[in-house]
Chain A
Amino acid sequence: MDGFRYFEGVATLAMDENACVGCGMCAAVCPHAVMALQNGKARIADKDECMECGACAGNCPTGAVSVTPGVGCAAYIIQTWIRGKNIPLDAKCC
């Protein structure tokens, strides 16, 4: 993203190329152009741009793309530390 980079090597995004059918859905929904189509298959072009929104994984028809999606705000993450991972996303955080 122009002028903005966050940490490297932290994103949970992963790709199983054997399961990919090359539909291009992941590339279409990614807001950071992390995924790209090459020779009829999707590949991770820039993993460190991934913000783990989960759009690609949720729209992959074969489950070839996976990511642990979440809300990246500190207040919410503190809540998960205190109350556990499966707390409902309420309006408090963002």
Chain B
Amino acid sequence: MTEASKQPGNCCVPAADQKTGTDTAGRDCIASGDTALEPTAGRGYEPGPKPKPSSGPGSGGFSMTVRKETTGLSIANAAGPDSLFLAPDHDAGEPCCGPPPSPRSGVHERPGYKICRFVEHFIETPAGPVPKVKTDTGFHDFLGTLSARSGLSRNNYKIAPGLYAAGNPDAGSPVLVTANYKLGFDKLRSCLKHTDAWILVIDTRGINVWCAGGKALFSAGEVVREIKRSGLSKVVYHRRLVLPQLAANGVSARDVKRGCGFEVLWGPVRVEDIGAFLENGMKASPEMRRVTFNTAERLVLIPVEVYFLWKPALWAIAAAVLLSGIGPDIFSPAEALRRGAMAAAAFGTGILAGAVATPFLLPWIPGRAFSLKGALAGVVCSVLLLPAFRGELTALEAPALFLVCVAVSSYLAMNFTGSTPFTSPSGVEKEMRISMPLQAGAIAAAIGYWLMAAFK
């Protein structure tokens, strides 16, 4: 039963194989530390007794250390069969060496799975055990957020879809639906410190709510599928879901209703408002319904903008070095390095202007077209850069570097429209049709000046 192949709370993967897998539904199973692809076992396992708190530290009686040593294939291979039976936790006495043995495995530990750090324990429900999440985020989550925000793990930062619990929800508690991008999930659970709720995580392939909606991954079909798979209708008696408002570009509320009988209520745009929304009888104020784009919200986007430029930047620098070496001696390695460094600096300044300064200073840079804002930022930044090469630049080289900087900045600023919450695709296309020929012309002119300068 491949449908059953992902268990919320169980951070997948047999230790031996961390590859991204795909089940028949076409879902990517997770490969990063926190996630869980699952191997074989079906979903319908016998709900065991509640874990015994007596067995040691940590609620639920399981700890990461024990789990690591007792699950997965590696144990059987690494040690003899005896090691499959944990040292008893009552009469162990003084160990001959090393620290006392860890407590016995918890009842929710299963071969091939690893319980996620954000799971506190499991709640027994008519649909089986449901992981109860911690509402505090820790250093580990912080590192994960940093990694995703910087771009390193951004495209593979996900948790297993399914039903989770926050607080002590019962059959009448609200059901909050969200994407399986771990960054957003962490934010949601940290906003549920005083709330008892169910969290239904949809398989959006690790993409955040709004983008997943735009890509039709957060869709009515996917919501219906997860409701059926999780057995939600056995867990709650009501038939209401709270979806993030920003999922509305992908989810049709009436298709959800038609598909599984659950009514969709649109929650607030920002997850920070979820408490107020629930307290207010599931009604959003006009402020909760509107997106914002303040300085902090823009700043967090900058690292990803820059990170994804490393490849084109390397190509551009290689091209700049090659072009810089061309001269009366056909090719001069010394000139390639000297002039190439200046060209690379101009390119780097363009990146700084278009992908850092423009997003940061967006509301204060004049103009509506992002390409224009970027060009202006490029002008200012190149005026700051060029004096650094005073004495080295000829009358043909200076304008070349200026044009490179302005064109690169203009293009990157234009590309930032995809990260903003207010630009329409029709508008972006309109400005691209005007500005891209200008950007290309500026680059062509810069190359011309740069080549001519070598022969002067």
Q: How many residues on B have C-beta within 8 angstroms of the other chain's C-beta atoms?
A: 48
Q: How far does the alpha carbon of A12 sit from the alpha carbon of B426 in the complex, in Å?
A: 7
Q: Does B51 contact A (CB under 8 A)?
A: no
Number of interface residues of A (CB under 8 A): 42
Give the residue of B216, B254, B418, B427 whose beta carbon is less than 8 angstroms from that of A76: B418
- Segment among B91-99, B185-193, B245-253, B332-340 that sits at the interface with chain A: B245-253
Q: Give the nearest-CB partner of B284 in chain A.
A: A28
- Residue from B213, B253, B291, B427 in contact with A6 in the complex, judged by beta carbons closer than 8 Å: B427
> How far is B433's CA from A74's CA once the two chains are assembled, in angstroms?
11
B363 & A55 in contact (Cβ 8 Å cutoff)? no
Enumerate chain B residues within 8 angstroms of A28, measured Cβ to Cβ.
Answer: 245, 266, 284, 289
Closest chain A residue to B247, Cβ basis: A55
- On chain A, the residues within 8 Å of B419 by CB distance are 73, 94
Q: Give Cα distance in the complex from A75 to B429, angstroms.
A: 11
CA distance A21 to B425 in the complex (A): 28
Q: Any chain B CB within 8 A of the CB of A33?
A: yes
Query: Which residues, 382 to 440 on B, are CB-close (under 8 Å) to A?
Result: 411, 414-415, 417-432
Q: Which of A2, A12, A50, A59 has the most CB of B within 10 A?
A: A59
**A7 engages B414 (CB within 8 Å):** no
Interface secondary structure of A, over-half rule: loop
Contacts A59-B254, A74-B417, A74-B428; A4 near B422 (Cβ below 8 A):
yes
Q: Let me know if B211 is at the binding interface, CB within 8 A.
A: yes
Report yes or no: B418 in contact with A59, Cβ–Cβ below 8 A.
no
Query: Which one, A50, A59, A78, contacts B252 given CB within 8 A?
Result: A59
The verdict on B269 contacting chain A, using a C-beta distance below 8 Å, is yes
Instruction: Specify which chain B residues have a CB less than 8 angstroms from the CB of A68 in the assembled complex.
Output: 425-426
Q: Does B215 interact with chain A (Cβ within 8 Å)?
A: yes
Interface flag for B290 (CB, 8 Å): yes
A1 & B215 in contact (Cβ 8 Å cutoff): no
Among the interface residues A6, A11, A51, A74, which one has the most CB atoms of the partner chain B within 10 A?
Answer: A74
Q: Tell me the complex Cα distance, A93–B420, Å.
A: 13
A10 x B289 contact (CB < 8 A)? no
Rounded to whole angstroms, the CA-CA distance of A80 and B155 in the bound complex is 22
A22 at the interface (CB under 8 A from B): no
Are A94 and B418 within 8 A (Cβ)? yes
**B90 adjacent to chain A (CB < 8 Å):** no
Contact digits for B228-260, partner A, Cβ 8 Å, 1 yes 0 no: 000000000000000001101111111000000
Closest 8 CB pairs of A and B: A73-B418, A70-B425, A29-B248, A55-B248, A7-B427, A53-B249, A3-B363, A89-B215
17 A-B residue pairs with CB within 8 Å: A1-B422, A4-B422, A10-B424, A10-B430, A29-B248, A29-B266, A30-B289, A32-B291, A49-B422, A51-B424, A52-B425, A54-B214, A59-B252, A59-B253, A71-B418, A72-B428, A73-B418
